[in-house]
Amino acid sequence: MSTTSHKTWPKLTSREEFRFLSELVLKRSTGDHTLVSVQDQHGGTTRFASNQIIQNVDTRRGSLSVTVAFGRRQGTAGTTDFTAGSVQETVARASQIARLSPEDPEYLPPVERQDYVTPPTARAETAAAGPARRLEYANEAIAQCRMEQLGAAGIVSSSMATVGVAASTGLFAYEERTEARFSLTVQAGEATGWGASAHRSIDHLKIYERTITAITKAKRGGEARELPPGRYPVILEPAAVAGLWSQLLWALDAKSYEKGTSALSGKLGQPIVDRRLTLRNLPLREDLLGVGFTTEGLPTVESSWITEGAFTQLSYDRFTAKERGVTTIPTLDAPCLSGAGASLPNLQELIKQTERAILVTNFWYIRTVNPTDLTLTGMTRDGTFLVENGAIVSALKNFRFHESPLQVFNRVEAFTHPVEAITSETGKLLVPAMALRDFNFSSVTRF
C-alpha cells in the first residue's frame, strides 16, 4: 500500500447537497419551525500496541437530525439513511413527537440567519489522508521505539467531516472540518512515557518530536522512587494543566450558577484564580480546533471568560441568555489560557529554575469529589519525576491528588508561554506549563 493511495474516498455531503437536503426537509415539514442538521464524516484510526497494529479501522457515517416544533412543542428525530424515503420518514417522526410533546416553557425558535467567522477548519492534506498515511505515521513511531527496544502503544487518526445547520428562520451554516490525532505511550518495563498531538492538519502532528518526548520519559522512568503523600511544589506540564482547567470550564454554566448549584455561584466579577491568568476563546487560531458555528447555528466568537484572574463570563444556554438580555452568546470551542507578565519560553526553562518540585506529565481519571468547592481527584500518569536544582533527578511512583482548581491556581509560582495541550479525556487547549506551590498529593500507588 503506497502512502499516496489512488483510492477514491467517498464524497461527503457538499454545501449544495446540504442546501438541497435542508430545503427538502423544510418543504416537507408542516411545523411552525424546523431545524435540520447534518454531520457527514469519514475517518479512520490506526491503533498499535506492543509495536504492532492491533486495530486498523475506517468508518464513514452520515447523520441527519430534524427538529420540528408546533408552538412550544418540539421533537427531534435522526437517521443515518439519507435516501428520500428515509428523510421523509425522519421529518414525519420528528413531527409526530412534537405533536405529542408537552409544551416546553423554555422553547425558543431556531436562531435566524447569522454571519459567521470562517476559522481554518479544514485542511486538504488531512482530507486526502487515508489508511496508508496513518499506517506510515504509526510505523514511524513504532520504528523509533523498536530501535530503542521499547514498546509502543498509540493511535494515528484522521477524519474529514462536512457539517451543516439550517432552519425555517433562514439560518444556513455549512463548513468542512478535518482533524488528525496522534498519541503514544512508550513502555520501558514498568515505566511509561507519553506524548500527544491534535491538529486540523495531519502534517502538523509532530510524530517524531512527540515520539522522542515519550521515549525520553519512559527511559527516565525506571527505578521509580516512592515519596510519601503530602503537599509538594509541582511543575505541571501543559496536559496536566489542561486536565484541571477542563473541569473548571464545565463549572461555568449560567443556569447552575443562578440556581446556586455551581462551585462558581456568586463569584461573577470576582477573582477566582491568580490575577496574571486570562482565559479566552480564540476560534480563529490555527493551532486550536475552533469551529465556525455551534450545533444550534450560533456563530462562535472571540471572548474572554476569566480576565486577569477574575471570573467574567458565564456559559449561556439560549433561554437563560434571553432571560438575562444577553444578545451575543459566547462560545468556548477554542480555549487559550495565558499568563501576563514574565513567562518562560518553555518547560525546560521552568525546570532549570526550579529548586525542588514534582514534575507531572499528565493526570488520569480526574473526577469531581466535592462539586461545592470543585475539589477534584485523579492520578498522575506516564511520567512523574522529582526535580532538584534545575534537573530531573529520578522517577517517582504515581500519586493520587485532591485539589480544587479554584485553590491551586491561586498558588502560581511561574509559567511558560501557552502551548498545545491534548489529554485523553478532554479536547485541545492552549495552556502554559505551570509551577505551583503546595499541591496536595493524598496517596501513592504501586508503580
Instruction: Round to whole Å and give the CA distance between 2 and 47.
Output: 19
DSSP-derived letter for residue 206 is -
Smallest separation, CB 382 to another protein (Å)? 8
Residue 383 contacts residue 238 (beta carbons within 8 Å) = no
Instruction: Round to whole Å and give the CA distance between 401 and 229.
Output: 9
Instruction: Round to whole Å and give the CA distance between 430 and 197.
Output: 12
Smallest separation, CB 185 to another protein (Å)? 4
Instruction: Round to whole Å and give the CA distance between 167 and 312.
Output: 32
447 binds another protein (CB under 8 A): yes
What residues numbered 144-183 form the site for another protein, per CB under 8 A?
Answer: 151, 153-155, 157, 183
The H-assigned helical ranges of 148-253 are 207-220, 238-249
Smallest separation, CB 351 to another protein (Å)? 25
- Strand-pairing partners, residue 253, are 315
* Contact pick of 4, 6, 7, 342 for another protein (by CB under 8 A): 7
Smallest separation, CB 325 to another protein (Å)? 21
Smallest separation, CB 53 to another protein (Å)? 4
Read off the C-alpha cell for 303: 471572548
| Identity at 419, one-letter amino acid code | V
What residues numbered 41-100 form the site for another protein, per CB under 8 A?
Answer: 44-63, 65, 74-83, 86, 90, 93-94, 97, 100
Burial 147-160 (b: 16+ CB within 10 A, else e): ebebbbbbbbbbbb
Smallest separation, CB 214 to another protein (Å)? 10
Choices 20-28, 31-39, 132-140, 337-345; region in contact with another protein by CB under 8 A: 132-140
The H-assigned helical ranges of 196-337 are 207-220, 238-249, 254-259, 318-323
| Residue 234 CA to its chain's centroid (Å) | 24
Considering beta carbons, is residue 135 or 414 the nearer one to another protein? 135
What residues numbered 9-28 form the site for another protein, per CB under 8 A?
Answer: 10
Radius of gyration of the chain (CA): 24
What residues numbered 213-272 form the site for another protein, per CB under 8 A?
Answer: 259-261
Choices 113-121, 218-226, 292-300, 364-372; region in contact with another protein by CB under 8 A: 364-372
Considering beta carbons, is residue 79 or 338 the nearer one to another protein? 79
Smallest separation, CB 225 to another protein (Å)? 17
Residue 111 contacts residue 298 (beta carbons within 8 Å) = yes
Considering beta carbons, is residue 214 or 414 the nearer one to another protein? 214
Please list the helix, strand and coil fractions of the chain in percent, rounded to the nearest 5, in that order.
25, 40, 35
Smallest separation, CB 52 to another protein (Å)? 5
Q: How many residues does the chain have?
A: 447
Total interface residues for another protein by CB under 8 A: 94
The H-assigned helical ranges of 237-292 are 238-249, 254-259
Residue 181: enclosing H or E segment and its boundaries?
A: strand 172-188
What residues numbered 311-350 form the site for another protein, per CB under 8 A?
Answer: none
Residue 200 contacts residue 191 (beta carbons within 8 Å) = no
Smallest separation, CB 201 to another protein (Å)? 20
* Contact pick of 114, 139, 394, 410 for another protein (by CB under 8 A): 139
Choices 168-176, 197-205, 320-328, 359-367; region in contact with another protein by CB under 8 A: 359-367
445 binds another protein (CB under 8 A): yes
What residues numbered 395-414 form the site for another protein, per CB under 8 A?
Answer: 398, 400, 402-404, 407
379 binds another protein (CB under 8 A): yes
* Contact pick of 24, 132, 310, 419 for another protein (by CB under 8 A): 132
Smallest separation, CB 61 to another protein (Å)? 5
Residue 318 contacts residue 343 (beta carbons within 8 Å) = no
**For residue 51, how many other CB atoms are within 10 A of its CB?**
16
Choices 27-35, 244-252, 280-288, 365-373; region in contact with another protein by CB under 8 A: 365-373
Please classify residue 304 by burial: count the beta carbons closer than 10 Å to its beta carbon, then call 0-12 exposed, 13-18 middle and 19+ buried. Answer: middle
* Contact pick of 104, 112, 209, 388 for another protein (by CB under 8 A): 104
Smallest separation, CB 316 to another protein (Å)? 15
Closest CA to 289 of 217, 229, 201: 201
